[in-house]
Structure 1
Amino acid sequence: MFLVIHIYKLRSFYLAFSKWQTVSAKLSWSHYSTLIRIENENARLWYMQEASQQNWSVRALERQIGTLYYERLLSSKEKQPVEHEAQQNTQVLAESAKDYLRDPYILDFLNLQDKSYQENDLEQGIINNLQQFLLELGKGFAFVERQKRIRFDDEDFYINLVFYNFKLKCFLLLDLKIGKLKHQDIGQMDTYIRLYDDLHTSSDDNPTIGLVLCSEKSEAVVKYSVLSDQKQLFAAKYLAHLPSEEELRIELQKERERVQAQLLSQQVKGQDNE
């Protein structure tokens, strides 16, 4: 019986990919052996295309599936319902800066075993594992600079990490925080974005985006700060250790509920203004 089911799945798998011949030719049998285990057809198609476009190794593909990359990307999108959107447009999930970012980020490859690590340890770990971090960060990102100095009113500021996204055509400023997200973290990143736009972007660059990556998010800060309606400023949680699949699904459900609550609040505000 198992063999019959497996053959049926294999046949359905190849029929589904018959229209993707150019893409599928770039993948090995080991890639397909991994992809066939994914029950969700939309997720399977998406992983297949990403593996081809991003030249993922089999090991990279397995990690992205294991850390629910597809689900994390969808849970971070402010469109409802995200499942229907995925069905309607599997190829292009990303349209804006918010759609390229996700929450949470899984940084298990940094091997931060000691819970007393500092922000500079986190930053150094990312530099030491830059290839893996770029894979986790998302599509189209390239590393630009570490500890970028910007000067304002005779005072120097240092941005932890700077990246550039070639699809969004904009810079990403990344600020690393240990502990709970604070209002001053948001204000600081807002200043960084404004300064960077004035000092370092060119006319063909889109507005700079900023991401505060913290070990614990504050829903109050998210709700009652510029994060609630800002298109350039974002905050996300990182997990230093790989959680179980169930724990990760719980995290994603919390994020999805937050996004849905935010959307509902925006709809109510829009109705009140009419």
Structure 2
Amino acid sequence: MSDIFSNDLSKKISVLLNEARQRVLQTVNHTMVVTYFEIGRMIIEEEQNGRERADYGKQLISELSRNLTQELGKGFSVTNLQQMRQFYLVYSKQQTVSVISEKQQKPSAEFRLSWSHYLKLMRIDDELERKFYEIEAFKNNWSLRELNRQYDSALYTRLALSQDKNGILKLAEKGQVIEKPQDVVKDPYILEFIGLPEQSVY
């Protein structure tokens, strides 16, 4: 009896701890993304202050990398700082779609994916396509590997081909929306699973 009880209790505690660790990981991820966005903003603002010198931006990032690496250690290579700068440029222009609340205006409230996800997303030039993948990655809890797989399979392009202009905008605002039973059969996830060519259901 005591063995059964202790096993049950240990399982409950294990579940609780795993959930807590997951929340901590999500918080760390969110904080990291927000911090990198802010670092990108600070770099851009500093570059604009020294814009009369054409090579100022390059020198700034190189010197910043050296100083931050000495002071804080790894994670501040020239490449990483350039990625933070690019992240700000991309996401300050579009309001990212995975928002917690419409009332919250600060970008810090909006980022819901990991830094690795954003490194992939910000390489997608088309803003509507980028928004679509951001929504789907968040809604479906895609790992980076799954995001890459869906992007490589041209999921957005395949869906967009069957949409009018308004439908494409809806894809970028809401992701995939299943409205009618027959839409389920047109879902590329389902088609992929059952091995049917998409053309056969349109």
Larger Rg: 2
With normalisation by structure 1, the TM-score equals 0.33
TM-score (norm 2): 0.43
Structure richer in strand, relative to its length: 1
Higher helix share: 2
